[in-house]
Amino acid sequence: MSHSLGAADRQNPPDQTKHTVILDCCGGLNNVDYSEMDLTFLGGLRNYVDPHNSSFVLAVIAIIFNPLFWNLVARWEHHTRGLSRLFGSPYLACYCLGFVIILLNLYRSHSMTVAMKTQTRWTVLEGTEIFYAGVALMVFGTLLVVSSFLALGFTGTFLGDYFGILMDEKVTGFPFNITENPMYWGSTANYLGLALM
């Protein structure tokens, strides 16, 4: 049975209401109207962060460079075994890369500390409760980092798997029973705590 529109229906078509487009996970941000965004927070942030300060720039470079460097070197080693051949042993090569990573992390921490000291301090962060929140974050972060290192060992921590140095089994004890990435979460808590302090 077919239905056709009557004369009255053709003269008065059904209500054409606009439907809101729902963003889906695969549609990206193409449907976002950026002119509707409230960016006043970023304007206020400029009062506290001087991106032209040389110590700030060095800290940003160190933050970006460090993981880029060690991931590129580790992937290169995995594909070529170049460091293992150079040092004559995958263990010695891993220990040397680990030592370089430690030095780079010390420099990154130092450059971040210098950069934070040269920036304007937000008065909201002056309270003692903020200071102690920073201390608590650093204690928690250090607990995660140190316990991760103890559970993984030096070669497990410093990319030994890229050198062909594998652990006998997956580590599932503390702190890996809390989160899969305790070293990253611990480092993040340490840097946030340092910033609050």
Tell whether residue 145 is among the known ligand binding residues. no
> Could you report the per-residue pLDDT of 140-167, keeping only the tens digit for each?
999 999 999 999 999 999 999 999 999 9
At 181, phi and psi to the nearest 5?
Answer: -125, 60
| pTM of the predicted protein model | 0.73
Tell whether residue 127 is among the known ligand binding residues. no
18 has pLDDT over 90: no
Q: Which of 151, 155, 176 shows the shortest CA–CA distance to 99?
A: 155
1 has pLDDT over 50: no
How much of the chain, in percent, has pLDDT values that exceed 90?
A: 64
- pLDDT of 20 reads 58
Contact in structure between 166 and 140 (CB atoms under 8 Å): no
Neighbours of 12 (CB within 10 A): 8
Name the strand (E) or helix (H) holding 76: helix 54-80
How far apart CA 21 and CA 29 sit, in angstroms, is 12
Tell whether residue 44 is among the known ligand binding residues. no
